[in-house]
Structure 1
Amino acid sequence: MRYFVDADRKKKTARINIGENPDNLSPEKLLKLEDRVKSSLASDYLPCPVAWHVAKEAGVSRIAVGAVADRLGFRITDCRLGCFSVDKIPFKDEIRDNIPAGLIAALEAYREKKRIDCPEVFALAERFGISPLSVSKTAAASGLKVLGCQLGCF
């Protein structure tokens, strides 16, 4: 287990600054959220899908869960978009062949920015009835960078 330490925090805050309590939760609610995060760990890591579930169950934003995990020193793993995970999933050409043509056209709207944010990936996945991972991998293969993590990881 590699904890999220000061060196990691410094590197991350150079890119993203979400603060320690982005939802301005009361001390009591913040303590409950910390307990939920701790009880949801898998081998001292917080998997991305579990973090989403914690946010929904606690009635807080996903970014608040990410901030608590950072503050407590726990790493978030298994990104639903494949940006980071324990086991990397290589992008296969045959997967891209099964991607709806409309998705490729929809991704063109992001070509000028050269990036697509996490919430947009999930919206496209829902729109086209495919997994967020498929959208993310197709975006990456199209030269787009996936940014704007809803948990504040990237």
Structure 2
Amino acid sequence: MSRKDKGGFAQKHPPDQPSDPRVAEAVKTAAREGKISCAVAFELARSLGVSPKEVGVEMDLQEIPVTHCQLGLFGYGSKGKGIEAAGEVPPALAEAIQKALVNGRLPCASAWEMAEAMGLSKREVASACEALKIKISACQLGTF
């Protein structure tokens, strides 16, 4: 769903999409003003012992949008993205990003792993991608 669609998240899934009652209740309880931040969604997944994707699917089924992407890509209201292109990208980071590309894009999980391995914040990796004109793909929660 694009930003313009506002809702309709459940339409991304088959009508008979299975739902774990524990995840459904946790998502419902965690929602604030009808939304859940990326960080809270990941904490729910960790605490429930399920994948972030499973939490994301349940959020879709309940029409609860994700806010405040930890990479800074979306969910920051009228501000749009929560990041800007880095002024300069260290060569080691640029090389790591290039090596991790899948069909010309950097998967979200790879960005997270790269940040951890290189001692960087997730947003630093995303800012480098912005500077290099590389899109991040395959959100772990399934938003894109």
Q: TM-score, normalised by structure 2?
A: 0.81
Tell me how far 1:101 sits from its aligned partner.
3.0
Match for 1:143: what amino acid? K
Who is 2:43 aligned against? 53
Change (3 A) 1:58 1:111: closer
Q: Give the superposed CA RMSD.
A: 2.5
SS of residue paired to 2:133: coil
Tell me how far 1:148 sits from its aligned partner.
0.5
Q: TM-score, normalised by structure 1?
A: 0.76
- 1-side partners of 2:34 and 2:139: how far apart? 21
Which residue, 17, 22, 25 being the options, matches 1:20?
Answer: 17
Q: Is the 8 A contact 1:4 1:70 kept in 2?
A: no
Tell me how far 1:20 sits from its aligned partner.
3.1
The higher radius of gyration belongs to 1
Tell me how far 1:144 sits from its aligned partner.
1.1
Who is 2:29 aligned against? 39
Who is 1:113 aligned against? 103
Q: Is the 8 A contact 1:4 1:73 kept in 2?
A: no
- 2-side partners of 1:122 and 1:112: how far apart? 15
Equivalenced residues, count: 136
Q: Is the 8 A contact 1:47 1:76 kept in 2?
A: yes
Structure 1 gaps, min length 5: none
- Percent identical pairs in the alignment equals 26
Change (3 A) 1:72 1:96: same
